[in-house]
Structure 1
Amino acid sequence: MKEKLLIALSQALKGYLTEPNATRLIQKTLRTLEQQLHARYLYIAQQNRKTSYLDITHAHGVPRTALNDFHKKIGSNTIGRIFFKDSFNIITKNSSPDDYEEMRIETDYAMCAAAHIGWEGRTYGFLACYFDREFEFDLATRNFFLAMAGACSAALEKEELLKLISELRQFDIDTGLYSHQYFINRLEREIHDTQFEPHTLALAILDMDNFKSIINLYGEEAAREVLKSSAETLKKHIRGCDVLGAHGIDEFILFMPDTDAIKAAAIINEFNASLDKKTFTDNAILTSFSCGITQLRDNEEDLEELIQRAQLALYNARKSANHTISVEL
């Protein structure tokens, strides 16, 4: 029995290092548990971080009605012990009525094995396995079950980490704004949406007029601080639906749905006017931005052409003087 379970465990763990999708890994684990332990059904319940209730997030063989009805609190019975005291529990008809009823979903059962799901010293839920008959859960079986619960925990932890990395990639480290690639992806989607629901869209590229001179006088760290503070100031002048990203070393790129180039120019003028009243760092540094603005043409789908017009407008603004806005339609 022990060798059979070890073989099943090693087969179930294949792909855990390379597969990023936790659901596929967990479903494989649940199927293995069903086959090796002859379980009736299995599920993983996790705490909803918004409501603190437990919901079934992964299941195998659980009736659909039971999935929808499952909505439990962390009390002082079996579930509470899994979260705060014992990482493993066996519940049978000989257990306390409260324990038995707490783990009951839709129909009676002969035995249920439950183990915590968690990582970094915290419990986020549990794995439950139900049986039609009661049998001895010997050491080998228990270790197998706990190893499978650990594998599920590892898969979920990895998925959480990958989500965090993905979220971090959305942002530019120096400015805290959206990264250029994330901005471009959002702009592509917005342009695509205009083909189905036509609306105006303004695109602006802003260039910090004195970034290099600040570096020469006060150092790169001071220049980065001024750039980041300027980004925070600009955020106060735009709406929640507007999308602001990093662009190059000392530039911002901004698109504004339902806004034309004239309105966008007025917003950038307000931004520059607010900068005129501010100083940055202990050195009381002043700054301003030149800006090139364009807007989406009727039925336009070419992202690169839209950006090129904004860059051309910025080029024309730079040729004039600092603090200049140029529009290219």
Structure 2
Amino acid sequence: MRNSIFSMLNQNKTKLENLKEKLEILKKDRERLAKKLSALRLIISEINIGSNLDKILNLIIEKCVKIIEAERGSLMLFDSQSEKLYIKSSIGLSEKTVSGVRIKPGEGIAGWVFIEGKPLLIEEGAKDPRFKKFENIEEELKSIISVPLKIKDETIGVINVDNKLKGELFDLDDLQLLSDFANEAAIAIQNAQLHQQMKNLAITDELTGLYNFRYLIERLEEEIKRAQRYERSLALIMADIDHFKEYNDTFGHLEGNRVLKSLANILKINIREVDIVGRYGGDEFIIILPEADQKEAQEIAERIRLKVERYKFIDNEDHSGETKLTLSLGVTSCFQEIISLQGLIYKVDQALYLAKRKGRNRVEVI
């Protein structure tokens, strides 16, 4: 009897110790979660301060991976034109993965989360039937959390994290934490997008979508100072549509506006990535070419001239035989010389005037 009592006491003592141990573990888990929530609030405040979209996206995924203690993470946004999700920022993913992944709504884990608007915790990601393995993309995949970025009832993207550090698996606390984070991140993204749209409206020509006169002048002034400071070359192209007034008088201003839009697109796709193109006014356009010499600028201008000459602006059968327009272009440059903004514009304007005087549909250099 006595032995039985001692045995029972020992068992109770063991159970009590086990319970205390579990309570201690639970307490530490709660403390860890509380610290993460506190850190989350600070991170959200930091994110909401910014207005640059790319920086905010990078900051979101950087902090997200850190607070969830994940090996990798990606932030995907939905592009309404292509109707696909693209990776806009990531940590731990190869360039091949980032550039190669394009996900349709409903496709794969991220596509499912996007369509359903619900967070997802998967312990064995690669074995999930929703997982899509992309050709030639090899990323070891274990535990996954994927959460939607939502503004009210609209999903704008998805945050994905996978492979918790130290080989552990994500749990429901991680899922809740990331979901809360994503809700705040979505608001920050929307605010940055709106800020970017407002900024674009302020510097963009409404009709053509190119930069407007004010922004062109600001950038040209900056580029002239940069070229002089670092002793780099700078070139300028001014283009003007030949006989555009007569064209407008014949076909009307709506058709003329359509021509200006088409020309804007031709200009955009025939310049270098670093070049700045904008509408100077009416049917005149300017292209700023940082670090381009006169010869390179002349070649770009000639390429544009040929593209315009060969382009069929009117598809309306009623206007058959009146489908061609041409462009006159002036080119100038400066290298290791002191020149004002007004002086450079005067030079390129004189080059354009020379092209007009010599018969139009040509490139002239001064």
TM category, shorter? 0.5 to 0.7
Matched, 1:121 2:120: no
Aligned ranges 1:1-329 → 2 under 5 Å:
1=30, 7-20=38-51, 21-22=55-56, 23-31=58-66, 33-34=67-68, 40-46=69-75, 57-59=89-91, 67-68=93-94, 71=97, 82=113, 87-92=118-123, 98-99=127-128, 112=143, 114-119=145-150, 120-121=154-155, 123-128=157-162, 130=164, 137=172, 142-156=175-189, 171-180=204-213, 181-182=215-216, 185=219, 188=223, 192=227, 203-204=237-238, 206=240, 222-223=252-253, 225-226=255-256, 228-229=258-259, 232=262, 240-241=270-271, 245-254=278-287, 259=295, 293-296=330-333, 299-300=336-337, 302=339, 304=341, 305-311=343-349, 329=366
Q: Structure 1 residues 264, 145: CA separation in 2 closer, same or farther (over 3 Å shift)?
A: closer
Please state whether the residue corresponding to 1:16 is helix, strand or coil: helix
Shift of 1:241: 3.1
- Measured against aligned partners, the alpha-carbon deviations of 1:40-70 in whole angstroms (never above 9, x if no partner) come to 43532346989x89979434xxxxxx64499
Paired residues of 1:209 and 1:323 also in contact (CA < 8 A): no
Q: Which amino acid aligns with 2:238?
A: A
Query: Deviation string for 1:90-135 (max 9, x for gaps)?
Result: 444xx698249x7xx7698xxx461324343354442347265679
Q: Mark the CA change 1:197 to 1:308 in structure 2 (over 3 Å): closer, same or farther.
A: closer
| Larger mean Cα displacement after TM superposition, 224-233 or 15-24 | 224-233
Once residues 307 and 328 of structure 1 are traced to their aligned partners in structure 2, the CA distance between those partners, rounded to angstroms, is 13
Identity %: 16
Provide the C-alpha distance between the structure 2 equivalents of 1:231 and 1:96, rounded to a whole number of angstroms.
Answer: 47
Q: Is the 8 A contact 1:172 1:178 kept in 2?
A: yes
Where 2:208 maps in the other structure, the secondary structure is coil
Distance 1:89 1:136 in 2: 11
User: Which is richer in helix?
Assistant: 2
* 1:265/1:54 CA distance change after superposition, 3 Å: closer
**Alignment check: 8 A CA contact 2:298 2:363 kept:** no
How much does 1:147 deviate? 0.5
Greater Rg over alpha carbons, structure: 2
Contact 2:305/2:328, CA 8 A, preserved across alignment: no
Count of residue correspondences: 295
Q: Residues of 2 paired with 1:99 and 1:271: CA distance?
A: 51
- CA–CA distance in structure 1, aligned partners of residues 287 and 125 of structure 2: 62
Equivalent position SS for 1:245: strand
- Stretch of structure 1 that moved more, 154-163 or 169-178: 154-163
Supply the distance in 1 between the matched residues of 2:257 and 2:231 (Cα, whole angstroms).
37
3-state SS, counterpart of residue 62 of structure 2: helix
TM normalised by structure 1 equals 0.54
Q: CA deviation at 1:205?
A: 5.1
Gaps of 5+ in 2: 1-29, 132-138
Relative distance call for 1:231 and 1:86 in structure 2 (3 A) is closer
In the aligned structure 2, how far is the partner of 1:269 from the partner of 1:136? 62
Query: What SS does the corresponding residue of 2:48 show, helix, strand or coil?
Result: coil
Query: Relative to 1, partners in 2 of residues 1:313 and 1:24: Cα closer, same or farther, differing over 3 Å?
Result: same
Question: How far off is 1:247 after superposition?
Answer: 0.7
* Amino acid in structure 1 at the alignment position of 2:333: L
Tell me, which stretches of 5 or more residues in structure 1 are unaligned? 35-39, 60-65
2-structure distance, mates of 1:134, 1:265: 58
CA contact 2:309–2:326 (8 Å) conserved in 1: no
8 Å Cα contact 2:236/2:297 also seen in 1: yes
Instruction: Check the 8 A contact 2:236/2:286 in 1, yes or no.
Output: no
Q: How high is the TM-score relative to the length of structure 2?
A: 0.50
| Structure 2 Cα separation of the partners of residues 227 and 261 of structure 1 | 27
Deviates more, 1:75-84 or 1:151-160: 75-84
